């Protein structure tokens, strides 16, 4: 893995981040927006692991940050899906345009 | 070009292609399946970087937990075979524009920066090392964030149950 420069891994994670951002901008369905957020969090994890491996191989801080991000992502997905199911019960739709009561 | 770098580019192409499909397919169930493949590809990238523990956690938590949860919520909330409505044209154009500008900006920042690889002796990333450092109370220990995250998980679990609970009509 030493012949791949760090900037190539950073480019992959940047591309993944902006693909997730594109999904967040264009999708109007709450579940697919949640999937885009997962992609964004994964790109951040790749960055942490790559920095830990290339620049600070004698430390483990990047690993811990990644573990904590994965944990928080799981909690976030669970809470978001609970909210989505509750919204579906009251609006019969999970489109963000249909849930505009709290917009203003 | 050695086998290692070929594997890296194959994994990267796989991750980006499946992620792109996940945010652009019309059917929501297919979108979830493409997301699954993308997350498996990220786990492969961790294996390539010799972080076996993180790769295992990625597969267990994301592939085994979050994607299954998302698929269940798709089944609960809508017809999985239905096509989603297309985003409006103007929104798509401006999203592509914003994403391209953001990517170019970041690329121009990363490209000229010279990273100096460390020459320190690498630490073995074994489960033993990770566990003992995470739960140590010394200067570089992570026991306080560990406890905070465990409280957060408990709060999230209780919050989920309370939010998704069906409110019964008043009993007589």
- What are the extents of the domains in chain A? 6-93
Tokens 């989920």 label which residue? Answer: B160
A98 in contact with B at a CB cutoff of 8 Å? no
ipTM of the assembly? 0.91
Q: What is the pLDDT of residues B36-82, one digit of tens each?
A: 999 999 999 999 998 899 999 999 999 888 999 999 988 888 765 67
> Which residues in chain B are closer than 8 Å to A63, comparing Cβ atoms?
51, 53-54, 125, 130
B:103-162 residues touching chain A, CB 8 A cutoff: 103, 106-107, 110-111, 113, 115-118, 120-123, 125, 129-130, 133-134, 140, 142, 145, 149, 152-153, 156-157, 159-161
Three-state SS for B83? strand
Taking the mean position of all CA atoms in its chain, how far away is CA A56?
A: 24
pLDDT at site B171: 61
Q: What is the pLDDT of residues A44-67, one digit of tens each?
A: 999 999 999 888 888 888 899 999
B14 in contact with A at a CB cutoff of 8 Å? no
Predicted TM-score (pTM) of this structure:
0.90
Task: Kindly report the nearest CA distance between residue B129 and chain A, in angstroms.
Answer: 9
Q: Domains (ranges, CATH) in chain B?
A: 3-84 (1.20.120.1200), 121-172 (no CATH)
Spell out the per-residue pLDDT of chain A, length 104, in tens: 667 888 899 999 999 999 999 999 998 888 999 999 999 999 999 999 999 988 888 888 889 999 999 999 999 999 999 988 888 888 888 888 877 777 76
pLDDT at site A95: 83
Question: Is residue A46 a contact partner of residue B45, using CB atoms and an 8 Å limit?
Answer: yes
Architecture of the domain made up of A6-93:
Orthogonal Bundle (1.10)
Q: How far apart (Å, rounded) are the C-alpha atoms in residues B50 and B124?
A: 10
> Element (H or E) spanning A2, and its range?
none
């Amino acid at each position: 893995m030493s012949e791949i420069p760090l900037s190539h891994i950073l480019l992959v994670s940047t591309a993944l981040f902006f693909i997730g951002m594109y999904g967040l901008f264009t999708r109007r369905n709450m579940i697919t927006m949640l999937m885009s957020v997962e992609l964004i969090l994964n790109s951040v994890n790749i960055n942490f692991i790559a920095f830990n491996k290339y620049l600070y191989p004698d430390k483990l801080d990047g690993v811990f940050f990644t573990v904590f991000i994965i944990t928080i992502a799981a909690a976030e997905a669970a809470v978001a899906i609970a909210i989505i199911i509750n919204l579906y019960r009251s609006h019969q739709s999970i489109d963000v345009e249909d849930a505009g009561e709290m917009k203003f | 070009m050695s086998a290692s770098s070929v594997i890296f580019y194959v994994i990267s192409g796989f991750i980006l292609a499946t992620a792109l499909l996940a945010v652009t397919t019309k059917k929501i169930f297919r979108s979830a399946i493409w997301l699954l493949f993308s997350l498996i590809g990220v786990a492969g990238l961790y294996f390539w970087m010799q972080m076996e523990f993180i790769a295992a956690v990625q597969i267990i938590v994301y592939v085994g937990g979050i994607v299954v949860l998302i698929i269940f919520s798709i089944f609960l909330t809508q017809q999985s075979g239905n096509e989603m409505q297309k985003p409006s044209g103007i929104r798509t154009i401006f999203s592509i524009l914003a994403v391209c500008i953001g990517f170019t900006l970041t690329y121009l920042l990363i490209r000229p920066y010279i990273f100096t690889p460390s020459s320190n002796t690498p630490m073995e990333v074994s489960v033993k090392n990770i566990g003992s450092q995470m739960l140590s109370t010394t200067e570089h220990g992570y026991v306080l964030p560990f406890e905070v995250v465990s409280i957060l998980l408990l709060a999230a679990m209780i919050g989920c149950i309370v939010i998704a609970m069906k409110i019964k009509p008043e009993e007589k």
